[in-house]
Amino acid sequence: MMIVPNLLVTDDDSAFRRVVCEGLTRRGFQVSEASDGDEALQVIRTRRVHLALVDVHMPRVTGLDLMRQLVDTPDRPACVLMSAELDEQIRREAESMQAYQVLSKPIRLHQLCDVVLGALTDLYGWSPTKPR
């Protein structure tokens, strides 16, 4: 049983990454961060990640490249792709690699949290514990 999901926020925009990480941490999640897909791969190889929030356009290893490299990974995390520059080709490719969702930036933190909760519920049957 998953008590606290492990999330990974991967984005080369450090300000955006910091806001998302802080917001998710405040909501009780364990959150790791990476500045590009290469760092994200290192995190995924060293700890269990349930859901990765991934920017599409990053240096070195893009969000789509990251998903390609994760295809045969055991315990592959679900991925939510985000981009300020989405087009139909990116959407189609993300869907073909079974991205949980593709989001257009800018996105509000509460909307992103709703997507995270939805993904964890849909994919793992997880729901936040209710205070007694």
DSSP state letters, 55-120: ESS-SSS-HHHHHHHHTT-TTPPEEEEEESS--HHHHHHHHHTT-SEEEESS--HHHHHHHHHHHH
* Three-state secondary-structure class, residue 5: coil
| pTM across the whole model | 0.92
Domains in the chain: boundaries: 6-124
pLDDT string in tens for the chain (132-residue length): 558 899 999 999 999 999 999 999 999 999 999 999 999 999 999 999 999 999 999 998 999 999 999 988 888 999 999 999 989 999 999 999 999 999 999 999 999 999 999 999 999 999 887 554
According to CATH, what is the number of the domain 6-124?
Answer: 3.40.50.2300
